[in-house]
Amino acid sequence: MAAQGYFITGTDTEVGKTVATCQLLRAFNAAGKQTIGMKPVASGCELRSDADGQSFMWNADVAAHAAASSVQADGQLVNPYRFMPPIAPHLAAREAGIDVSLPHLLQCSAALQQQADVVLVEGAGGWYAPLNESAMMADLAKALGFPVILVVGMRLGCINHALLSVQAIEASGLQFAGWIANRVDPAMSRYEDNLQTLQKALRSPLLGQIEYAAAAEQGCLPATALHFLC
Helix 191-201 vs helix 158-171: angle between axes, to the nearest 10 degrees?
20
Cβ atoms within 10 Å, residue 200: 8
- Contact by Cβ (8 Å): 148, 33: no
- Which residues belong to the active site? 39
Q: From the centroid of its chain, how far is CA 104?
A: 18
Structural element, H or E, at residue 66: helix 60-68
In 3D space, the residue among 174, 158, 44, 53 whose CA is nearest the CA of residue 121 turns out to be 174
Q: What distance in Å separates the CA atoms of residue 125 and residue 147, rounded to the nearest whole number?
A: 18
CB-neighbour burial class of residue 97 (10 A; exposed 0-12, middle 13-18, buried 19+): exposed
